[in-house]
Structure 1
Amino acid sequence: MSKKKTDESGLEIIETPEALAGKINKAEVFFIKNRKVVVGIVGAVLLALVAFAGYRFYIESQEGTAQQALASVVYDFEADSLQKALNGSGGNEGLLSIADSYKGTDASNLANFYAGVALLKQGKYDDAINHLKSFSSDDLLVHARAQSLIGDAYMEKNQPAEAISYYEKAAGYEKNEYFTPVYLMKLAIAQEKASKPSDAMSTYKRVVDEFPLSSEVVNAKKYMGLLEGQVGK
């Protein structure tokens, strides 16, 4: 057995060249026995790196084209020309095409949000839900807005139980005086429709207690009064 000693830094070092040669020999034997596995792992890692680099290059090259297409169609959206915004016009791509053709880009992500809003206004609730669920944002206020819109779509479909979870998410993001009480009111109404009067009462109370200066307080107090008989208060 080869002896080891400790140098001034406190690290253990191999005392003899023979011991070092033995270590190297063991590594060579391991590589020979497992050559296919080792080569396969290295190859897979290299392939993954190349694929990722290629994907990022493709996405970056697509982003500029997608942003230009989105800029053209947003005018139709803001003018409330929803059909043109969704399907395009005058040779311009529409929101649905941008969302589908440029997946992975920021423009595609934003197109999903715009498309969800437009489809919701058109009463195409299932399609609206799908597009809004495909949207994500680091801006918590915008993300909360998308969650609330999904809740609205479920309410229009007369599915308050499904709407509740999305209103809860919307109310839970970045609490603020402007939007949170609105989301809480929507949540309470959904809870009422889902036959959960106690939950609705608690949610209305949150509006009154946590946002006393909100314009929603008047309605919250009114609905609380109507619910008192049902919850035994």
Structure 2
Amino acid sequence: MAETKNKATHPQSEPDFDLQASMHRAEDFYTKNKNIINIALLAVVVGVGGFFAYSRFVKQPQEQKAQEMIFQAQNYFAVDSFKLALNGDGNNFGFLQVVNKYGGTKAGNLAKYSAGVCYVRLGDYQKGIEMLKDFSASDLMLQPEAYGLIGDAYMELNQVNDGIEYYKKAGHYNNNELTSPVYLFRAGMALQKAGKDQDAIAIYKEIKEKYPMSAEGREIDKYLAKLGDVRH
């Protein structure tokens, strides 16, 4: 009877976990697949090590070289010598060479912005647009400037709707007293040119509400009045 009671207390349907057997199964799995496992582990180690090696031995030296290359171009840019800044002078590199060689670095990214400015100032608006669109930055002041300049270039090409789009991007990218009212105002003027007076009124009212102390905000009432909005 005792034996029957013991079987009822420990049913065979729930066997104890066999740690030793589990370890043997794991060892057997590794033995059969060790080549694949070792290759996978090696790939992870190489990947992690390669990332740090790339940062130290490739990326950092490239950044330094790009900064050295861009130096004279920046000097030309500062004195409005845009052709020399863009193409170099035969002895020193221009922004285009920096972009082509080190476009993936921070200095190379900045060279894209500067090259875009040069193209626009030289009247090559389409190339300026392409270069400025290739530039990207988290900088809260430089990025809206790039968007605004793209808007200017589109307006020069008489592509007004595209100009409006980028003026709005510039005005709304970073809400601040310095750049936002400037580009929102340009968006309003472009909207008027496109015959979209009600949209222009909405933009002007946004300037009046958000940036009343800006130069644009202090003058905005007369633009609203010209558009027949007398309830402002």
Question: What is the TM-score normalised by the length of structure 2?
Answer: 0.81
> 1:130 aligns to what?
130
CA-based RMSD of the aligned residues comes to 2.4
Offset from partner CA, 1:187-232 (integer Å, 9 cap, x none): 2123333443222110011112222222213553233223338xxx
| Equivalences, count | 215
* Secondary structure at 1:228 match in 2: coil
Spell out the pairing of 1:139-158 with structure 2 (5 A cutoff): 139-158=139-158
Post-superposition offset of 1:93: 0.6
Alignment of 1:40-55 (within 5 A): 41-55=40-54
Q: Which residue of 1 aligns with 2:113?
A: 113
Q: Is the 1:177–1:214 Cα contact (8 Å) retained in structure 2?
A: yes
SS in 1 for 2:91: coil
Instruction: Indicate conservation of the 8 Å contact 2:185/2:204, yes or no.
Output: yes
Residue in structure 2 matched with residue 7 of structure 1 by the alignment:
none
Taking a change above 3 Å as real, the CA distance of residues 35 and 95 of structure 1, as seen in their structure-2 partners, is same
| 1:188-227 → structure 2 map (5 Å cutoff) | 188-217=188-217, 219-227=219-227
Q: Does residue 176 of structure 2 align to residue 176 of structure 1? A: yes
Q: 1:39 offset after TM fit, Å?
A: 4.6
Partner Cα separation in structure 1 for residue 145 and residue 207 of structure 2: 18
Cα distance, 1:48–1:214 mapped onto 2, change above 3 Å: same
Equivalence for 1:10 = none
| Structure 1 residues 23 and 228: CA distance shift in structure 2, 3 A | farther
Report the Cα distance in structure 2 between the residues aligned to 1:107 and 1:129, rounded to whole angstroms: 19
Matched residue, 1:22: 21
Q: Hey, what's the Cα distance between the residues in 2 that align with 1:27 and 1:217?
A: 73
Note closer, same or farther for the CA distance 1:189–1:30 as it changes in structure 2 (3 Å cut): farther
| Matching residue's letter, 2:227 | L
- 2:62 aligned with 1:62, yes or no? yes
Gaps of 5+ in 2: 1-14
- Contact in 1 for aligned 2:73/2:92 (Cα 8 Å): yes
CA distance in 2, matches of 1:105, 1:130: 18
TM-superposed deviation, 1:148 = 1.1
Which amino acid is 1:112 matched to? K
Asked if the contact 2:212–2:218 (Cα under 8 Å) also holds between the matched residues in 1, the reply is no
1:54 Cα offset (Å): 4.2
Structure 1 residues 152-161 or 112-121, which shifts more? 152-161
Where 2:141 maps in the other structure, the secondary structure is helix
For the residue of structure 1 that corresponds to 2:117, the secondary structure is helix
Moved more, 171-180 or 36-45: 36-45
Given that residues 59 and 104 in structure 1 are in contact (C-alpha distance below 8 angstroms), is that contact kept between their aligned partners in structure 2? no
Q: Partner amino acid for 1:168?
A: K
Counterpart secondary structure, 2:228:
helix
Q: Give the Cα separation in 2 of the matches to 1:189 and 1:29.
A: 76
Aligned residues with identical type, % of pairs = 38
Question: Cα gap change, 1:193/1:30 in structure 2, threshold over 3 Å: closer, same or farther?
Answer: farther
* 1:191–1:200 Cα contact (<8 Å) kept: yes
SS in 2 for 1:143: helix
